[in-house]
């Protein structure tokens, strides 16, 4: 991994919250983890989009999950 020193104006409240939520020990780690989370979300959305229209889930599994979700409410 190449590292480049940067200077940014960051919202301190957002940074503190991200650091806490991500369990990061440093602000730099929090920023790196947040960037990785964004990229992971992008990959997941691309995978979901690629699966659209394909029979990737068993219909009975989907029905069971919906039923359990309704009971949990």
Summarised one tens digit per residue, pLDDT across range 2-50 is: 999 999 999 999 999 999 999 999 999 999 999 999 999 999 999 888 8
Confirm whether 27 is domain-assigned.
Answer: yes
Look at the chain and report how many structural domains it folds into.
Answer: 1
Confirm whether 5 is domain-assigned.
Answer: no
The confidence band for 57, taking pLDDT boundaries of 50, 70 and 90, is low
The confidence band for 71, taking pLDDT boundaries of 50, 70 and 90, is confident
32: CB partners within 8 A, 6+ apart: 24
Q: Hey, how many other C-beta atoms are within 10 angstroms of the C-beta on 19?
A: 19
Q: Is the pLDDT of residue 55 over 70?
A: no
Confirm whether 2 is domain-assigned.
Answer: no
Q: Is the pTM of this model over 0.85?
A: no
- Map residue 46 onto helix, strand or coil: helix
Task: Write out the residue range of the structural domain in which residue 19 sits.
Answer: 12-72
Burial class (CB in 10 A: 0-12, 13-18, 19+), 36: exposed
Instruction: DSSP letter for 45, please.
Output: H
């Amino acid at each position: 991994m190449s590292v480049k020193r940067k200077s940014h104006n960051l919202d301190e409240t957002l940074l503190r919250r991200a650091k806490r939520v991500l369990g990061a020990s440093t602000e730099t780690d929090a920023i790196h983890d947040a960037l990785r989370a964004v990229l992971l979300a992008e990959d997941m959305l691309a995978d979901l989009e690629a699966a659209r229209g394909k029979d990737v889930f068993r219909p009975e599994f989907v029905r069971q999950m919906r039923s359990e979700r309704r009971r949990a409410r």
